[in-house]
């Protein structure tokens, strides 16, 4: 039976497989906007985008926009029209997850080379994997420390109606960073909506860094960066179900959380956030086995970043 460290290495490899040998990286085309790379497009997606020469054009080993689409409004509208047509055709399974928000930009993701850059266009969340566009999110580790210093963590179980990973374990609160929303605003909003945490308490959460990785699966390429917060909760506080995205909350000793981390119950990217927590709080130490695995850790962490 595989050890905990071996299982974690398998998870790391899965969550960063785009940077490992055998991925589609070498065959992908760069997605460029205004001369800046903002994503990766697979040959399969590129061939379908070729049906829309009024929107996309090849540019060496890249795909970019046709002349005239030179503002974020014009690019956003043009891409949305293409995606709506592909959605009607059921060309890609990822578009089944289209959110159908009432306001066009409410669940649009900003597309930019780096987080601090002005957005070059907006794109529907469900379609970002087709273009390999980096998505940003906010995750909150809710935990307590008792009088003896023992750590316990609150975990959420995702609703069975969620479009991705229904019924899996998740961080106490988490959500995608929609265009135009700040990181802290998103953190407070998700805490209140998902776990009924009062804003005054949520504001006490500490920003502790980011976790980044890139994986690919049958639905596309997923470069993701999660802004991570730690929120130490009062011992007598209990999160409650809010907007229905969570079906239950669980309160576990940290060693139980560590075991659950490598189970099939955990949403994989949330496991990366909890792994970061375990490392920062010395639950996983250099002598634990994970950090000295004959070079395998460094092999699987290429492109995987934990930044403080």
Least confident of 11-20, 137-146, 174-183, 188-197: 174-183
E-state strands within the chain: 29-33, 36-41, 56-59, 62-65, 108-111, 121-124, 135-145, 151-158, 169-171, 173-176, 206-217, 220-232, 246-253, 305-307
Give the pLDDT confidence of 55-106 residue by residue, as tens digits: 999 999 999 999 999 998 999 999 999 999 999 998 898 887 676 544 444 4
Give the pLDDT confidence of 186-203 residue by residue, as tens digits: 999 999 999 999 999 999
Query: What value does the mean pLDDT take over residues 242-270?
Result: 94
| Distance (Å, whole) CA 199 – CA 215 | 33
Q: Is the pLDDT of residue 287 over 80?
A: no
Label residue 290 by pLDDT band (50, 70, 90): low
Give the pLDDT confidence of 115-168 residue by residue, as tens digits: 999 999 999 988 999 999 999 999 999 999 998 999 999 999 999 988 889 999
Work out the number of other CB atoms within 10 angstroms of the CB of residue 297. Answer: 16
| Distance (Å, whole) CA 273 – CA 296 | 20
* pLDDT the model gives residue 178: 85
228 within 8 A of 273, measured Cβ to Cβ: yes
In this prediction the pTM is: 0.89
* pLDDT the model gives residue 308: 46
Label residue 43 by pLDDT band (50, 70, 90): very high
Domains of the chain: 4-16+135-281 (3.90.79.10), 22-131 (3.30.750.160)
* pLDDT the model gives residue 301: 46
* pLDDT the model gives residue 107: 65
Element (H, E) at 130: helix 128-131
**Tokens encoding 97:** 């997850």
| Distance (Å, whole) CA 91 – CA 3 | 41
| Distance (Å, whole) CA 292 – CA 286 | 7
Label residue 49 by pLDDT band (50, 70, 90): very high
The position carrying tokens 């959605």 is 87
123 within 8 A of 79, measured Cβ to Cβ: yes
Label residue 294 by pLDDT band (50, 70, 90): very low
Work out the number of other CB atoms within 10 angstroms of the CB of residue 245. Answer: 19
**Tokens encoding 211:** 């976790």
Q: Is the pLDDT of residue 298 over 70?
A: no
Give the pLDDT confidence of 205-248 residue by residue, as tens digits: 999 999 999 999 999 999 999 999 999 999 999 999 998 889 99
45 within 8 A of 28, measured Cβ to Cβ: no
Give the pLDDT confidence of 265-282 residue by residue, as tens digits: 999 999 999 999 999 999
The position carrying tokens 């970002």 is 128
Pairing of strands 206-217, 305-307: antiparallel
């Amino acid at each position: 039976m595989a050890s905990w460290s071996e299982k974690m290495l398998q998870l790391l490899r899965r969550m960063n497989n785009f940077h490992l040998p055998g991925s589609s990286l070498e065959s992908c085309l760069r997605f460029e906007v205004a001369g800046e790379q903002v994503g990766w497009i697979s040959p399969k997606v590129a061939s379908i985008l070729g049906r829309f020469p009024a929107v996309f054009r090849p540019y060496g080993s890249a795909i970019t926009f046709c002349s005239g689409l030179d503002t974020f409004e014009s690019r956003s509208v043009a891409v949305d029209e293409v995606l709506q047509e592909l959605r009607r055709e059921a060309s890609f399974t990822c578009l089944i997850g289209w959110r159908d928000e009432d306001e066009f930009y409410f669940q649009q993701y900003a597309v930019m080379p780096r987080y601090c850059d002005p957005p070059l266009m907006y794109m529907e969340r469900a379609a970002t994997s087709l273009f390999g566009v980096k998505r940003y999110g906010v995750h909150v580790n809710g935990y307590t420390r008792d009088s003896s210093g023992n750590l316990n963590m609150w975990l959420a179980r995702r609703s069975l109606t969620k479009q991705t990973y229904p019924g899996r374990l998740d961080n106490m609160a988490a959500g995608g960073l929609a265009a135009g929303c700040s990181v802290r605003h998103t953190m407070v909003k998700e805490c209140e909506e998902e776990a009924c945490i009062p804003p005054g308490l949520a504001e006490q959460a500490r920003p502790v860094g980011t976790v980044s990785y890139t994986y690919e699966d049958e639905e596309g390429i997923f470069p993701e960066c999660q802004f991570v917060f730690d929120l130490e909760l009062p011992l007598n506080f209990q999160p409650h179900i809010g907007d229905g995205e969570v079906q239950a909350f669980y309160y576990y000793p940290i060693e139980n959380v560590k075991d659950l981390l490598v189970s099939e119950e955990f949403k994989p990217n949330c496991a990366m956030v909890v792994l970061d927590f375990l490392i920062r709080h010395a639950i996983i130490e250099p002598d634990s086995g994970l950090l000295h695995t004959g070079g395998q850790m460094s092999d699987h962490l290429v492109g995987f970043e934990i930044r403080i």
